[in-house]
Amino acid sequence: PALAGDKLGLGREALPEEIAAWDVDVLPDGRGLPEGRGDVFTGEEVFAAACASCHGDFAEGVDNWPVLAGGFDTLDDKDPVKTVGSYWPYLSTVWDYVHRSMPFGAAQTLSADETYAIVAYILYSNDLVDDDFELSHENFAEFTMYNADGFIIDDRAETEYAIWSGEPCMTNCKDSAEITMRASVLDVTPDVEEDSASD
Amino acid sequence: MDDALKAPSRRAFLKGTAAVAAGSVAGAAAAGTPDPLITEVQDWASATGAGVDETPYGLPIRFEADVVRRNVEWLTASPISSINFTPIHALDGTITPQGCAFERHHSGAIELAKEDYRLMINGLVDTPLVFTYEDLERFPRENHVYFCECAANTGMEWAGAQLNGVQFTHGMIHNMEYTGVPLRALLNEAGLDAAGDLSDKWVYVEGADASSNGRSIPMEKALDDVLVAFKANGEALRMEHGYPVRLVVPGWEGNMWVKWLRRIEVTDMAVESREETSKYTDVLEDGTARKWTWVMDAKSVITSPSPQSPITHGPGPMVISGLAWSGHGKITRVDVSKDGGITWETARLGKQGDTKALTRFYLDTEWDGSDMLLQARAMDETGYVQPTKAQLREQRGENSVYHNNCIQTWHIKPNGEAENVEVS
């Protein structure tokens, strides 16, 4: 659809300082990265202080907190392990997300250099770089993630919609219907009785 | 202890037994014993009720305490980045009361006052702009009803029948009447001449919260029906739903409905943020994953009877009631099966389906007191027919996590209890 046409003259121009403060996203090609650098050893220290209490000393995850490392070649398993190393397609996303939204509960407290260092350490934890690796705005674009080619654009329109369209069966659609699985066997539903004890 | 799951249905069953007993009393009245609720003057028919000054903003009557959001602790590591569920087993019609409409946050529900609210538009625009909340209310407004369904709704059911209640299997959804400004009007204000050919442009939208929840939306959708909304069901958005401003992205997965919206950036490529790479991508059986699966396909579920809403009245006339919706447009038909999909009857729509909105359906029927395997099957205006779980698994395997729009089966037992099951 075309745009509405006349402007109403509402709002005011955003200042460069304001845009710089809020527009911190990083694109897959590296645009948006600030200058800076950090190596694996520095990253290990920062990670230990800021991240390891949830994600583990080796990015392996504590309790139910996300696992950041490992799980390579499990994506077609019965239970895939989707980590930064095994699953994420772009390094830009790691930098962007850590810088903007981590640590959980104290986001936006990491400097650019600290973020480079943490990302370098996460790559090391995934055995994707050696322990003397330094990540910077200059070599960022050279790095290709393990699962970079693992994604396809939504193809439901081609693969699914045609076969699930048209007049559906109304009678004698199958010979029988037998129960093959019951939720009560798993017994994982919260006890609704306790929930509504106030009544 | 080992049958904690049974508790809800047992309790519901006991309530049901009580209801049947009360029914017998009424039956007895018909047989000659007067009903004291009629023959004796009740307090409410004699004394006075609450004054108009008692409740400036009311909550439901205490007898409806069951109609609340619920969460499932084991689903997530922290309740701050988590989900809760709309009590759709107890609702009717299509509009979701805001107070029990589900929540999904990634860093909690934040408190953002209108005075502190700022919305920035930047990137490939002629003039980057900052709006206050007051500015937004000066744009021409529109009203639309749309469903917001979490991409993960029914996601726990991919590998089998897990959670015993429609609130838990299908309750990551709400449906509200939104008031807001078309996103295209705000983009127009900033000007898109600098963006050039709009067909390959995107908008990146993010929230004011710590998680930011940034997502990329193709320009075609941004200029079509996306709303920047500040009212829902007649009043301001609830804090937990994005007060004071959220994005409404009709028909598309709930994750993209960015709450506490603070920035819209016009870009020449998708940002491929965490919420569209690590999350909200759908792993297929061969280990590759679909990305940008934005639309929520046609789906339906019977809300009553269901595990949390058993049949309590015994055999005879009964109402089978449920919800249907499609991100592709209007629901045109819903079929209901009582025998696990062998035979189907076409249900009645409560009213004509609205585009990309919840539609209520009813099948007014007779129950003979025997076992039923209840299913509903939605069709939308594109001709798409809601698939079975087996059909979905055949295409995708069991690890997609998101976009499970399969046909749900409830096993209704002769005592009126219902259970979440899978059938052959």
Q: What value does the mean pLDDT take over residues B17-24?
A: 42
pLDDT for position A192: 64
Assess whether pLDDT exceeds 70 at residue A93: yes
DSSP assignment letter at A65: S
Q: List all residues 6 or more positions away from B200 whose beta carbon is below 8 Å from its beta carbon.
A: B268
B66 contacts A11? CB cut-off 8 A: no
pLDDT for position A37: 98
Q: List the single residue in A11, A89, A182 with the smallest CB-CB distance to B130.
A: A11
pLDDT for position B367: 98
> What is the nearest CA distance from A139 to chain B, expressed in angstroms?
20
Assess whether pLDDT exceeds 60 at residue A170: yes
Assess whether pLDDT exceeds 60 at residue B4: no
B5 contacts A82? CB cut-off 8 A: no
Lowest mean pLDDT among A181-190, B361-370, B372-381: A181-190
pLDDT for position B13: 41
pLDDT for position A25: 97
A contact residues 98-127, partner B, Cβ 8 Å cutoff: 100-101, 104-105, 107-108
Of the residues B212, B223, B372, B389, the best mutation for testing chain A's interface (the one with the most A CB atoms within 10 Å of its CB) is B212
A87 contacts B223? CB cut-off 8 A: no
- Position A187 confidence tier, pLDDT thresholds 50, 70, 90: confident
Over the stretch B120-132, which tens digit does the pLDDT of each residue have? 999 999 999 999 9
Give A130-197 as a 3 state SS string.
Answer: CCCCEEECCCHHHCCCCCCCCEEECCHHHHCCCCCECCCCCCCCCCCCCEEEEHHHHCCCCCHHHHCC
Question: Do A118 and A98 form a contact (C-beta atoms < 8 A)?
Answer: yes
Instruction: Output the average pLDDT for chain B.
Output: 93
Is A158 in the B-facing interface, judged by CB distances under 8 Å?
no
Phi-psi region of B32 (alpha: psi -120 to 50; beta: other; left: phi over 0): left
DSSP states of B255-311 as a string? GGS-SSEEEEEEESS----GGGTTSS-EE-TTS-EEE---BPPPEEEEEESBTTB--
pLDDT for position A3: 62
Q: What's the token pair of residue B276?
A: 């569209």
Distance CA B175, CA B98 (A): 9
Q: List the single residue in A79, A175, A184 with the smallest CB-CB distance to B419.
A: A184
Question: Do A74 and A90 form a contact (C-beta atoms < 8 A)?
Answer: no
Residue A150: CA atoms inside 13 Å, Cβ hemisphere, count?
Answer: 29
Over the stretch B392-414, which tens digit does the pLDDT of each residue have? 999 999 999 999 999 999 999 99
User: If you compute the radius of gyration of chain B from its CA atoms, what whole number of angstroms results?
Assistant: 24
Is B342 in the A-facing interface, judged by CB distances under 8 Å?
yes
> What is the nearest CA distance from B32 to chain A, expressed in angstroms?
33
Of B333, B332, B324, B326, which Cα lies nearest the Cα of B302? B324
Of the residues B124, B164, B279, the best mutation for testing chain A's interface (the one with the most A CB atoms within 10 Å of its CB) is B164
Chain A residues in contact with B382 (beta carbon < 8 A): 161, 165
Over the stretch B240-274, which tens digit does the pLDDT of each residue have? 999 999 999 999 999 999 999 999 999 999 999 99
A27 contacts B184? CB cut-off 8 A: no
Instruction: Report all structural domains of chain B as residue ranges with CATH numbers, in order of start.
Output: 98-151+174-288 (3.90.420.10)
Q: What value does the mean pLDDT take over residues B323-349?
A: 98
pLDDT for position A191: 74
Distance CA B164, CA B410 (A): 10
pTM over 0.90: yes
Is A157 in the B-facing interface, judged by CB distances under 8 Å?
no
Q: List the single residue in B63, B127, B139 with the smallest CB-CB distance to A13.
A: B127
Give the H/E segment covering residue A82: none
User: If you compute the radius of gyration of chain A from its CA atoms, what whole number of angstroms results?
Assistant: 24
Over the stretch A106-133, which tens digit does the pLDDT of each residue have? 999 999 999 999 999 999 999 999 999 9
Q: What value does the mean pLDDT take over residues A61-67?
A: 92
Distance CA B109, CA B112 (A): 9
Is A21 in the B-facing interface, judged by CB distances under 8 Å?
no
Residue B317: CA atoms inside 13 Å, Cβ hemisphere, count?
Answer: 2
Distances, alpha carbon A168 to alpha carbons B40, B205, B345, B405, in Å = 56, 39, 11, 17
Q: What value does the mean pLDDT take over residues B69-93?
A: 93
Distance CA B367, CA B378 (A): 22
Give me the interface pTM, i.e. the ipTM: 0.94
Assess whether pLDDT exceeds 80 at residue A2: no
Distance CA B397, CA B403 (A): 12
B107 contacts A107? CB cut-off 8 A: yes
What is the DSSP pairing of strand B215-218 with strand B372-380? unpaired
Which residue in chain B has the smallest CA separation from A20?
Answer: B122
B130 contacts A13? CB cut-off 8 A: yes
Over the stretch B181-239, which tens digit does the pLDDT of each residue have? 999 999 999 999 999 999 999 999 999 999 999 999 999 999 999 999 999 999 999 99
Count of Cβ atoms closer than 10 Å to residue B35 Cβ: 13
Over the stretch A27-52, which tens digit does the pLDDT of each residue have? 999 999 999 999 999 999 999 999 99
Distance CA A61, CA A53 (A): 9
**How deeply is B415 buried, as exposed, middle or buried, from its count of CB atoms within 10 A (0-12, 13-18, 19+)?**
middle
A7 contacts B271? CB cut-off 8 A: no
Is B340 in the A-facing interface, judged by CB distances under 8 Å?
yes
Chain A residues in contact with B286 (beta carbon < 8 A): 76
Assess whether pLDDT exceeds 70 at residue B12: no
> What is the nearest CA distance from B26 to chain A, expressed in angstroms?
25
pLDDT for position B208: 98
Chain B residues in contact with A19 (beta carbon < 8 A): 120, 122, 128
